[in-house]
């Protein structure tokens, strides 16, 4: 079977965690730990890459390594806000965003990935502090996604974002493996 360059760890719904809407302590701890480790793991994934390698697409017509790193920061800023909205308001409508267009803006083009790595380290400190203190029953709190037109639980979001970090790190590590970098 040929390698799936776009979904190297599979899609979210293929992950065993995701179908389980019921709260489980062990799954929660694993997912929060993965989110906690993400900034260090993505930093490790790009270690010693040079400028040309950072500007290489992780797959044909895909984002560059640089865009992937800045995208993870973009996405997780939104994630943090979604959790805080969901914890403090009753089924608030969240704001989808055009991630492909965000990845074309000047900050993604012109700012060093070190800035987004630092941002991820600090952002995840605050985000994980929030996650660790969500009470068992609060995981079933919802936000409303206007494009999917459905209510999504914070529990579902936890699965989504633990997968999301691993998904993008694999884009970078698999690219390095294929190229012997
Ligand atoms: Ni993404």
Written out in words, the top-level CATH class of the domain with range 25-179 is mainly alpha
Ligand 1 center to 52 CA (angstroms): 22
Res. 31 pLDDT band, cuts 50 70 90: very high
Reported as a single tens digit per residue, the pLDDT across 45-56 is: 999 999 999 999
pLDDT exceeds cutoff 90 at 10:
no
pLDDT exceeds cutoff 80 at 79:
yes
pLDDT exceeds cutoff 70 at 20:
no
Mean of per-residue pLDDT scores for the chain = 93
Give the pLDDT confidence score for residue 170 in this predicted structure: 97
- Which DSSP category does 55 fall into? T
pLDDT exceeds cutoff 50 at 42:
yes
**Integer Cα distance of 181 and 163 in angstroms:** 24
Res. 173 pLDDT band, cuts 50 70 90: very high
Ligand 1 center to 75 CA (angstroms): 7
Give the pLDDT confidence score for residue 22 in this predicted structure: 66
Res. 1 pLDDT band, cuts 50 70 90: very low
Kind and range of the H or E run holding 106: helix 106-110
Q: Is residue 84 within 8 Å of residue 78, measured between CB atoms? A: no
| CA dihedral angle for residue 175, residue 38, residue 7, residue 159, rounded to 10 degrees | 170
**Integer Cα distance of 2 and 163 in angstroms:** 22
Q: Is residue 86 within 8 Å of residue 143, measured between CB atoms? A: yes
**Integer Cα distance of 111 and 105 in angstroms:** 10
Ligand 1 center to 72 CA (angstroms): 6
Q: Is residue 164 within 8 Å of residue 82, measured between CB atoms? A: no
């Amino acid at each position: 079977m040929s390698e799936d360059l776009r979904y190297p760890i599979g899609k979210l719904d293929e992950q065993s965690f995701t179908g389980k809407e019921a709260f489980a302590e062990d799954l929660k701890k694993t997912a929060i730990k993965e989110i906690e480790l993400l900034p260090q793991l993505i930093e490790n994934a790009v270690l010693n890459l040079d400028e040309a390698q950072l500007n290489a697409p992780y797959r044909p017509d895909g984002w560059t390594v640089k865009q992937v790193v800045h995208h993870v920061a973009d996405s997780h800023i939104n994630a943090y806000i979604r959790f805080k909205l969901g914890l403090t308001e009753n089924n608030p409508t969240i704001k989808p965003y055009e991630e492909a267009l965000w990845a074309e803006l000047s900050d993604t083009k012109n700012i060093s990935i070190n800035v987004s790595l630092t941002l991820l380290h600090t952002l995840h400190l605050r985000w994980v502090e929030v996650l660790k203190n969500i009470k068992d029953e609060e995981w079933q709190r919802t936000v409303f996604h206007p494009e999917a037109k459905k209510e999504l639980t914070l529990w579902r979001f936890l699965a989504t974002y633990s997968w999301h970090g691993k998904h993008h790190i694999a884009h970078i590590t698999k690219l390095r493996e294929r190229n012997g970098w």
